[in-house]
Structure formats: structure tokens, C-alpha cells
Amino acid sequence: MINILVSDLNTHTVARLLRTSRGHLPAIRMITYRRAFRRLCVPAGSLIFTDFDLLSSFEMDAAGALAVAAEAQGVRVLNHPVRAQERYPLLRRLHRDGLNAVQVTRLDAGESPERFPVFLRLEDGCLAPDTGLLPDAAGFDAALAKLRARGKTLKRRIAVSFEAARDADGHFRKYGAFCIGGRIVPQHILRDTDWIVKSNRAHVTEATAAEELDFIRNNPHQAQLAEIFRRAGVDFGRIDYTLRDGQIVVFEINMNPTFPRFVGGNPAREERRGLILDRLRDAFQAIDSGPPGAPVRFAADRKSLMQVQRRRWGWVERQLMAARLGRRAKTGVTE
């Protein structure tokens, strides 16, 4: 069994994977963090952590306590909350290590970009950027002033240098590839004339469909991507990137990615979907824990647990949590 932990605000990605894969994958169970933190227990099976950008600091601590308890029990943990790097630290490290041209700076720390153009965005989530491409320091300062005038705070907002380039046909490209337990599974090549590439808005021709299929079959960036995931401490997710002068330019790693819809869609890309599904099946089977074992029980700091809910607990709920924590202490499960 494989357990995937998700925020209750973001269940649709895993739900669609399970729905459209139609039994081709090993047994996968989706569990919300809210349920896990309420029960201080998750069922037996490998554990995949996701959605860190939707968790508070208190929730991240509780997730870390669960991961530590699971590893102590011999459970395989993917995306350990203590080790996995999110967008800002990931991009900082890759640039520092000479593996990525993208520079990123925190706005709420008073940092100023060194490279232009840049765009401004929230550090978390997948919303569109706050700005277009800002060509220089004057444009950057003006954009900050406009954000403040609109009531936008600088907290957890970043400036990201734009390092993509158009291909020979005048399109910007975004490549996507999954990592599942260290295995790289290419997903797509998306093209758009706009610099923000969210979907395949360019017309799909026989040539572009063949190029994408070749990308998926041959997995040409496998070794480089595996090394990037390793440095990121990420075992499960999708990397979004492009190529500039033959070099990989990383945009982000999404730890709760959208998987292909394995039914329907453009017939020109049908063969691609079958290959992806087969490779995902093999990758998920490799991380499956096998026969059922004991549930993973854990305990986190009580004051932190009181903060993880989106509404205040009532008296009965507080007493139930105190009782659960008491039972954990008696059975040797520590914080």
C-alpha cells in the first residue's frame, strides 16, 4: 500500500490520477493532513508527503513528527518534511551549485535582484505571477510600489530572474518530468508564444507530437534531473524546466503535481499517455511497501497540534486529543 498525504484544499490531483489510471497502478490511498493530525495515526504503507506550500509552520512540524515516527518503524518515506526543499531554497541552492541560471530573491528581506529581467510572484502555490517581466531596477522598484498600493504584502513574495528563450519556431517551452522514488518519468513538452507556459497552446503538429514522444521514450535528461531531485531532497514530484543553449533551466518542483489525464485528450498524443502510465506503474510498484504492516502512530507537540486546525477546537475535541497524546506516551511514542 502507498499512502499519499495531501492538504484538504488540494485533493483533486491525486483523485484524478486514481480515477483516470483505472486500476493500472498499485494500491494507493489518499489521506488528508487534517485526518492524520486528528488521529495521530496513518495506516500501514509507504508514505508520500506533499503540499508543503499549503501547510503552516505548525503543520510542518506535525508532518515532520509523523515522518520521523514512520522511518523509525521502517516505513519508506518520500519527501521527508525536514529534507525536501521548496521553491525558494531549491532555486537558491541550484544556482549556488552552478546547476541553474535562475536567481531568486526574497522581497520581505529587502533583497534586490542582481539579474534582469525578473518577475514577482508568491513563493508558494501555483498562481500566476504578480507582474510581467521587469527589465531593470527602476521597473522593479515601480512594481514594488504598485504591489503595496494594491494592498499586497511582500511576505513570502520573491523576485525570479527570467532565463528562458524562444525556440526556432518562436515558442517558449516547458518540459515536465516526474520523479517517483528516484525514477524519472518524462511527461510533456508544452509550447506557447507567451512567456508564461501553462498549457500546450501551440498547434500540435505531427512533428511536435513526434518530438514529444521521442522525449518520453528516450528520457534524454534523466541523469541530470535525478541529480537535481537528489539535491532538492525530493523523492516524489514533477520538475518544470526548459532548455537554453542546451542547458537545463529549472523553474520549480511541484510535490503534488497534476498527472496526465489517461483517458480522452488529443489523439495525436495518445501513445504518449500509454507510455507514461506504464512507467508510472513500474515506479509506484518499486516504492510499494508490500504486505500490510502496523499503522504508524506518532505524537507531536501538543501546543502545535492545537494550531493545525482551521477552526478552534471545542472542549470535547481538546479532551480527545489529550487522551490520544496520553496513550502515545504510555506506548512509548515520543515527541
pLDDT of res. 328: 60
> Is the alpha carbon torsion for 279, 281, 282, 284 positive or negative?
positive
199-213: pLDDT as tens digits: 777 778 888 889 999
Q: Write out the DSSP string of 222-264.
A: HHHHHHHHHHHT-SEEEEEEEEETTEEEEEEEESSPPPP-SSS
pLDDT of res. 335: 42
pLDDT at 334 over 70: no
71-107: pLDDT as tens digits: 999 999 999 999 999 999 999 999 999 999 999 999 9
181-201: pLDDT as tens digits: 999 999 999 999 999 998 777
pLDDT of res. 183: 97
Find the radius of gyration of the CA atoms of the chain. Answer: 21
pLDDT at 329 over 80: no
pLDDT of res. 78: 98
Report the mean per-residue pLDDT for the chain. 90
pLDDT of res. 302: 75
Q: Please give the model's pTM, rounded to 2 decimal places.
A: 0.89
Integer Cα distance of 221 and 209 in angstroms: 18
Integer Cα distance of 48 and 87 in angstroms: 18
Integer Cα distance of 253 and 236 in angstroms: 9
pLDDT of res. 317: 65
